[in-house]
Amino acid sequence: MRSNLKVKTVNWSRVDEALIGAAVPPQNSQTAPGERSSAVFPGAVLLVGQGGDIVYCEAAGCRSVVPEVTPMTAEMVFDVSSLTKPVVAATLAMQLVDRGLLEVDRRLSHVFQTFGTYGKERMTVRHLLAHTSGYPATAPFFRMIAKANKAERIGMSGTRGAIEMIYNEIFRAKLEALPGKVVKYSDLGFILLGDALEVASGTFLDKLAGQSIFRPLGLQNTGYIDLKTIRRHGLEPAKERIAPTAHCPWRGRILCGEVHDDNAWAMGGVSAHAGLFSNVFDLHAFAAEMIACYHGRGILVSAETVRRFWRRDETISGSPWALGWEMPVGQRSSCGQYFSEHSVGHLGYTGCSLWIDPVREIDVVLLSNQIHWSTDSRALLSFRPVIHDLIMEALGFA
């Protein structure tokens, strides 16, 4: 597909202006980061879908500014980081619920025989999906794997031993609050959810996602990059088609085609909380399918289950979370002020976002390489609601 797919009856000029103005033109990319006062990211790709069709798609700025300047293209593949949570983990959970292999309100102690210490005996799958598990946001598991990695001939990261070590650490970890008492976004909860999905299905996460999501939808540019397999067979990702993320101080290089998230790296690039790579066209196809499922005409998940997951969780009053997805919270939401109250979305640390309004059948995919030059995301946090408002205004929903 090309990047000039626009509906001629819609005036996208303000969206174009905002997107292009937020990116660094390739000819100006040598400007020092501190002097790029008007730029939000080096580059980005923005796609808007409506009724299953692409009504807008544009690339702006630079794919990379170091070690060389390269332009952004609409087909570029991104490390979408935490978009892994809704696209992979929540969707697989929906499918396993449909198959009768998973119950969201069943205690995890029924899934894991050795689970239930330090107040975790009441924890359910719902608590993990809705970020009410009581687990901390994260923990530096990658450090112990990186240390063990040095002693292994081909490296320990990505082995089942490393993955099980991380799962066991989460099993034993103390909670910051009892399940169902506090809303706190937690990568650890979703790493554990990945383990539960594998146990319930009897299949490893990457294979399950490929069989149940990516292949049925024909998502040819979406998947995990299995670092263990790459090392073992001497393979190399097609880096020219992938947007680099950031320089990793402990890995000593700019990451491209290698998961940015430290703990996902320790797990070999495959986790339920991060690790997914994709582009705007595949994420639009996924969003369009989920909208179709919501209306009872899709193939991946039943309408009943999608609507159940896309309902605000009421475990804790005022929570912004559905099951695996965020929902709008007034004008403070990253999707702006015009998406319906039934909308769902998610952000990714690397600079990515996906928002879906199932009532109006609209999806907006914004993939950027914001952390390629800075981990300060304040400009992007301000930009997201603005660009979503401009999109909805252009479509006539303001």
Q: What is the mean pLDDT of residues 272-296?
A: 98
* Distance spanning both ends of the chain, measured CA to CA: 29
Tokens of 356: 């879906």
In this prediction, residue 232 carries a pLDDT of: 64
pLDDT of 3 over the 70 cut: no
Residue whose token pair is 């999707």: 335
Rounded Cα distance, 15 and 29, in Å: 22
- pLDDT at residue 2, as a whole number: 37
For the domain covering 84-276, report its CATH number: 3.40.710.10
pLDDT above 80: residue 148: no
The residue written with tokens 């039943």 in the block is 302
Residue 239, pLDDT score: 84
Alpha helices in the chain (DSSP H): 13-22, 84, 91-98, 125-129, 141-149, 160-172, 187-201, 205-209, 215-217, 227-233, 262-266, 280-294, 303-309, 378-394
3-class state of residue 62 by DSSP? strand
Choice among 98-112, 135-149, 291-305, 356-370 with the minimum mean pLDDT = 135-149
Residue 233 has pLDDT above 80, yes or no: no
Q: Which residues of the chain does CATH 3.40.710.10 include?
A: 84-276
Cα separation values, 293 from 147, 203, 302, 340, 347, Å: 45, 24, 6, 18, 22
Residue 242 has phi, psi (to 5 degrees) of -120, 135
Average pLDDT, the chain: 91
> Greater confidence, 331 or 270?
270
Entry pTM: 0.94
DSSP β-bridge partners for residue 47 = 57, 365
How many Cβ atoms are within 10 Å of 35's Cβ, its own excluded?
9
Check whether 340 has a pLDDT greater than 50: yes
